[in-house]
Structure 1
Amino acid sequence: MPIDAVGANAHRYPTLDALRGAAAFAVLFYHLRNIGAGHHGPAVLPIFASGYLAVDLFFVLSGFVISHAYGARLRKSLPFRAFMTARFVRLQPVIAIGTLIGFILALVQRLLGLEGAPGLFAIVTCLPANLLMLPNVLMPSGIFLFNPPAWSLFYELAANAVYAFAVRREADSTNGMRENLLLAASCLAGFGGLVASVLLVGDLDRGVALGDWPVALARIIFSFTAGALLHRTRHRWMKGVPRLPLPWLLIACVALLAPDFHGAPRAIYDLTFATALSPVLLMLTCVAQPGPRLQSASAWLGMISYPLYAVHAPIKHVIETILPLGFAPMLIVATCSAVSIAWLIGTVIDPALRHWLGNWQCRLYTTADPHVATTSSLSGGA
């Protein structure tokens, strides 16, 4: 998901922003496939059944861009605390908006005694934990009760912490060989975890419950380290990657997240996408050139991707609660509402928060250590 800019590399990959946006829309329609039918109800929309695999693509993108934006600075001077503070204040406010929407809905449902409303214990214990981007271990079936997709942000933040700690520890190394070997070993371990996951549970659609942690851990370990390793070795493979038109790649991304499989084909496809297709999509997209006419579209997709991911699930539940219409009307209303609110967050609320939090970070770390260079604004990278 997004990155921040405390010491970030100024160079950006706008095509990766576009790829992330396309994947975010696939996640949106994956969750809207069964709107009005309940969380476990049958899907009415016969596509985007593989939309949950966009999370693996997000993890690969995160590893690549975090390594690009912060790898060199972490090795030189950027303190671990400054990096993690920047990551938290970049991720937390937007996901908190979705969490608060879900909290208000859950509280109203409970006060009105509506069917399916969560208990007060769940509501009270989930709110503080989830606002801090932490899972509520007291509710194993709903660790992020108000905004279920937030589970992936928790694992991403944890991966950021481990990565930054490891890079800082290897900062005195004379060359990057040890770091590359560590990334490769972690990637291999994650691959083994993914294989075990599809063999044991049949797919990779896991992470939202506490008991899903082995699968979620395998997904983040493989994909994040694969993305970081691809960045570290980019000079070896970029020249040999074909330059394809960006629209083709975005269409391919959406198409790859659309198929519906069951049984063994489901397990094989999930493993193939996570370990091969998502890294290949990243490699192809990061060398693509958007062209003048597609630059604004790429920027728009990048801007809306994280807010859309962060708020679409609670908005879906609000629409289901207050507008119990047929599938098609609810799909249209939920889509328009999610995109509109995400646009408002991405263009007005998030930039204002980034400006305020950027100034706060600057004051905090200038006071604590005048030698720590920070920036007063936070960029919305991949």
Structure 2
Amino acid sequence: MRSGEIKALTGLRIFAAVWVVLFHFRPLLYGAAPDLTAALAPVLDRGAQGVDLFFILSGFVLTWTYIDKMGKTWSTRATLRFLWLRLARVWPVYLVTLHLAALWVVFTLNVGHVPTEDLAPYNAISYLRQLFLVQLWFEPFFDGTSWDGPAWSISAEWLAYLMFGVLILVLFRVARATRARSLMLLAVAVSVPPVMFLLVTGHFYTPWSWLPRIILQFTAGAVACLAVRRLDPSDRVRRSSGLLALGIVVAMVGILYWFDSHPIPDVIDSGGVVDVLFVPLVIALAIGAGTLPGFLSMRAVVYAGQVSFSLYMVHELVHTAWNWATRQFEVTLDGTAGAKWIVLGLLVLSFLSAVALYHVVEEPARRWMRRMVDVRAVDNPVQQIDSARSGKSATPRAG
């Protein structure tokens, strides 16, 4: 398996994004459907771990796409092109949501009686740091670093992108010297240290904990990709892997419920140990067929996966606007049918906003920025002049 989109992993992205969305919407869910939300709490309360799954997927997909292009030897041109294409993928939506967050602050200061209380983060230095995706690099904790809350992880990923040009050189050589089974074990091993920190400290959210999360999870995803590239699975193995992926998901849910009822002593975020199953899940989905991989590869699910980044970036703006409205108009979610419809409407609005962002901003801007580095080389000026004099057209050569 060496090329082409792995659709099951694209489809997986929407579930990672929805996990994060529901994590942030928990207060609203408790207000609208307290009994159901309480029953799902062991899963919802660990929704922040969806970000770790995103980091692993990012490392996997980028290695899948670029290892043959960038792994053999260092190329400054190829590395700069890679960085520009990554900017083309994330920067447009990032910039739009950044400025929407700023405009929302301006709105609250001029409309109603519930202005944004803490204006300290909104200054020129903070703006420039966020503009260049470096706002997280100066802070031990990610809360409050970004005007649009989820953007902290994009700042973290930008750091991973900058190190990717060197990392891919190492990965290329590791892949040539290591068997698939060893690569799988190595990928799992690389993803373990954040869980070890959890067991030592009692929770994920510690000073600078975001740094090993992005570096190690991103690298774990990259090594998992190396393992998949070395495999040539039979149809039977692919079907078995599909069933294994489904079993891993069931095991993850079971673990979350178990540790909710039987937490590890002195470990607040006990359910966070499910992170060690993310790499096996990604590998199983990448080579699997049928069952869960088949479902995640359905057109509608893949499309939702393509929209997932915009959903991830816009949902907190919808959440913030609703929280303002509840204070402005003294609205309370009381568990009635109307409250349930309100929360469902907010979730639908978040998704529709993401669809709009994807089609109006993300994809058009990505194609526009990509054309900047995919411009075909034109013939030299002397040839163009000679062709013009002779009445012949000068056809640009492919770059």
TM-score normalised according to structure 1 size = 0.75
**Could you tell me which residue of structure 2 aligns to residue 372 of structure 1?**
none
1:163 maps onto 2:175 in alignment:
no
Letter in 2 for 1:244: G
CA distance in 2, matches of 1:296, 1:106: 38
Matches within 5 A, 1:167-178: 167-168=168-169, 176-177=176-177
Contact 2:187 2:279 in 1 (8 A): no
| RMSD of aligned Cα (Å) | 4.1
Shift of 1:296: 1.2
1:23 maps onto 2:29 in alignment:
no
1:343 maps onto 2:355 in alignment:
yes
Please say which structure displays the higher CA radius of gyration: 2
My pick for the range that moved more, 106-115 or 250-259, is 250-259
Letter in 1 for 2:16: A
**Could you tell me which residue of structure 1 aligns to residue 316 of structure 2?**
313
Q: For each residue in 1:9-33, what CA deviation from the matched residue of structure 2 results, as whole angstroms up to 9, or x when unmatched?
A: 8500011111111111111111001
Contact 1:35 1:330 in 2 (8 A): no
Q: Which runs of 5+ in 1 are unaligned?
A: 1-8, 368-374, 377-382
1:132 maps onto 2:157 in alignment:
no
Q: For each residue in 1:208-239, what CA deviation from the matched residue of structure 2 results, as whole angstroms up to 9, or x when unmatched?
A: xxx742x1122223321211111112234855
Shift of 1:297: 1.9
SS in 2 for 1:45: helix
SS in 1 for 2:118: coil
Matches within 5 A, 1:166-245: 166-168=167-169, 176-177=176-177, 188=189, 191-200=192-201, 202-204=202-204, 206=205, 212-213=207-208, 215-234=209-228, 235-236=230-231, 240=237, 242-244=240-242
Contact 2:53 2:278 in 1 (8 A): yes
**Could you tell me which residue of structure 1 aligns to residue 37 of structure 2?**
45
> What percent identity do the matched residue pairs reach?
19
Matches within 5 A, 1:321-340: 321-324=324-327, 325-327=331-333, 328=339, 330-340=342-352
Contact 2:114 2:324 in 1 (8 A): no
Higher RCO (CA-CA < 8 Å; seq separation 6+): 1
Shift of 1:339: 0.5
**Could you tell me which residue of structure 1 aligns to residue 279 of structure 2?**
279
SS in 1 for 2:149: coil
CA distance in 2, matches of 1:338, 1:249: 30
Contact 1:135 1:144 in 2 (8 A): yes
TM-score normalised according to structure 2 size = 0.73
Aligned residues: 347
**Could you tell me which residue of structure 1 aligns to residue 364 of structure 2?**
352
**Could you tell me which residue of structure 2 aligns to residue 59 of structure 1?**
55
Q: For each residue in 1:30-87, what CA deviation from the matched residue of structure 2 results, as whole angstroms up to 9, or x when unmatched?
A: 100114999xxx9993331111111111111111111100111012466211111211
- Structure 1 or 2: more helix by fraction: 2
- In structure 2, relative to structure 1, the CA distance for the partners of 1:358 and 1:238 (3 Å cut) is same
Letter in 2 for 1:303: Q
Q: Which runs of 5+ in 2 are unaligned?
A: 334-338, 379-397
